[in-house]
A and B are shown apart, each in its own frame.
Chain A
Amino acid sequence: MSAKQALKPQVTQLYKELLWMGRDYPQGYKYFRDRCHKVFKAKSGLTDPKEIENAIKLGEYVKKELEALYFLKRYRAMKRAYYD
């Protein structure tokens, strides 16, 4: 089994997780899905397992950024509504 195939489940999982998180994206799900798809498409030609792993790491980072974005957006909204 090539390295690419071995990493495929991880990539699919990442894509699914990102799409799931993208449902709450401020500019809408469609906006997020289109961009997410474009980025994955752009990297679909990678064959070097190192490069693929780096791309997965970047994806994990984006996931954390999304979590932080949602948290911060909600936190600021609550703060504005109740404390300021």
Chain B
Amino acid sequence: MFALRNQVRTHIARGFVSARQSLSTLALIEQSNGTIAGSTLNALTAAKELGGDVTALVAGSKAADVAAQVAKIKGIAAVLTASSPAYDHGLPENYADLVAAATKEGGFTHVVAPSSAFGKNVLPRVSALLDATQISDITKIESEDTFVRPIYAGNAIETVKSKDPIKLLTVRASAFPAVELEGGSASVSDAKDPASEPQSEWLSEELTKSERPDLGGAKKVVSGGRGLKNKENFDKIMFPLADALGAAVGASRAAVDSGFADNSLQVGQTGKVVAPELYIAVGISGAIQHLAGMKDSKVIAAINKDADAPIFEVADVGLVADLFDAVPELTEKVKA
């Protein structure tokens, strides 16, 4: 126990005193209402892989609760908190000032955020404030200044070396495992709060609540296309199958454009990029350019009544059948 404490203390000392010379990382923790967002845990793995000390930054009115959870994560050296309601919804104007101030104060060499709506919103502003280039959506860390990231919608993979003194990274969640939530004991301290004037105001948000797993991180995804004909069929056929499998529901762009499904369900280059173990495409014959968002799935299964449908060319297993018969039958068999 004492040894552990000591170790933590030296970690902090290194983080703050000789930060200019050695590598140290500031990881942004995305949270809402006291719960840490899933993609943050993947980003923390990336932060740890960089090799230096990892300091987490938690902000918002419930920062203290979240900081207590974050402090327990293995491999985190210190946690900085800023308990102000101004940071509750991650409004980039205020949040970026806080991150920039904390980065300068702590002399961090790397700033890591998840490549989520939050990270993509805040980090570009931080990079402007710090006059450094942001490296977006990294999938691999080669060394402390060299990173791998997809470009041209995933058609090419780029390896970039950054010469900036501060590296700002957003991390693709599906490319890194999540950190363990237990086994650490980091110290918690207050961050320097710039308390800048708010330039924007949070009005409200409308979220679609779902009991099913989140599409971005799901192990199984069932996806529906235009073959389902209308929204009633989509709800009646896709959701029971998803529930039986414990899968997330996705939709092709054609299905979303026709109003069969909410656009938070859209899988594809313009929607969510998914990499599940099992991807079942129901009633999708083409729409292949939109399915490029699932190209890293382990197994792709397709159900379509047209045996010549192009989707069968990319699927690992295919079933030629009328989906209105086959899917309910499959749902029953999975349940049994």
Contacts and interface: CB of A to CB of B under 8 A. Distances in A.
B292 interface: yes
B300 interface: yes
Query: Is the contact region of chain B dominated by helix, strand, or loop, or is it mixed?
Result: loop
- Chain B interface residue number, banded: 10 to 19
A68 B290 CA distance: 8
Contacts of A40: none
Contact of B313 (A26, A64, A67, A79): A26
Interface string B125-160: 000000000000000000000000000000100000
A76 interface: yes
Contacts of A79: 295-296
Given A26-B313, A65-B286, A72 B308 contact: no
Contacts, number: 34
A27 interface: yes
Nearest to A77: B314
A64 B291 CA distance: 12
Interface in A47-84: 64-65, 67-69, 71-73, 75-76, 79, 84
Contacts of B292: 68, 71-72
B304 to A, nearest CB: 14
- Chain A interface residue number, banded: 10 to 19
B288 interface: yes
A65 B296 CA distance: 18
A68 B289 contact: yes
- Which of B155, B310, B316 has most A Cβ within 10 Å? B310
Given A26-B313, A27-B308, A76-B314, A69 B288 contact: yes
A72 B308 CA distance: 17
Contact of B288 (A26, A27, A65, A84): A65
Contacts of B295: 72, 75-76, 79
B148 to A, nearest CB: 15
A76 B300 contact: yes
A42 B296 CA distance: 38
A73 B310 CA distance: 10
Contacts of A76: 295, 300, 314, 316
A79 B300 CA distance: 13
Contact of B314 (A64, A67, A73, A84): A73
Interface of B: 155, 286-289, 291-292, 295-296, 298, 300, 308, 310, 313-314, 316
Interface of A: 26-27, 64-65, 67-69, 71-73, 75-76, 79, 84
30 contacts: A26-B313, A27-B308, A65-B287, A65-B288, A65-B310, A67-B289, A68-B288, A68-B289, A68-B291, A68-B292, A69-B310, A69-B313, A69-B314, A71-B155, A71-B292, A72-B288, A72-B291, A72-B292, A72-B295, A72-B314, A73-B313, A73-B314, A75-B295, A76-B295, A76-B300, A76-B314, A76-B316, A79-B295, A79-B296, A84-B298
Given A65-B286, A69-B313, A71-B292, 16 more contacts: A64-B289, A65-B287, A65-B288, A65-B310, A67-B289, A68-B289, A72-B291, A72-B292, A72-B295, A72-B314, A75-B295, A76-B300, A76-B314, A79-B295, A79-B296, A84-B298
